[in-house]
Amino acid sequence: MKQVINTENAPKAIGPYSQAILSGNTLYISGQIPMDPLTGKLVEADITLQTEQVMKNIGAILEAAGFSFENVVKSTCLLSDMKNFAAMNTVYGKYYAENPPARAAFAVKELPLSVLVEIETIAVK
């Protein structure tokens, strides 16, 4: 059985997908981009501010489902350029100071709306 998770505190889906799906004790969060859920606008500054917004969006979805960053077991980070990896990693690391999840990071040709970073997340209770 699956339960759709939606919160106004994270950006609405911009396609045929859900913000997250809870299946049993596992939460699958769709890739989050640096969109401010209050304004519906992208954070267009640098990779640091974009990553911070992405992590805030992930945090809002985790909270809506009754999870926290401590429950995250896997992240996939997609970057528009691997030159941004170190700066992204610094922000990302603040959210996982202890017992960080497994992770993969890739540079891709292009991301939705030409953002610099997108992160998808899996959490388990």
What are the extents of the domains in the chain?
2-124
Residue 111, number of CB atoms within 10 A of its CB: 16
Instruction: Please give the class, per CATH, of domain 2-124.
Output: alpha beta
Alpha carbon 106 to its chain centroid, in Å, reads 14
18-71 tens-digit pLDDT:
999 999 999 999 999 999 999 999 998 899 999 999 999 999 999 999 999 999
22, 3 in Cβ contact below 8 A?
A: yes
Residue 3: its H or E element: strand 2-5
- Cα→Cα distances 117→68, 73, 80, Å: 21, 19, 6
- Give the pLDDT of residue 44: 85
Q: 3-class SS at 21?
A: strand
Q: What is the mean pLDDT of residues 62-90?
A: 98
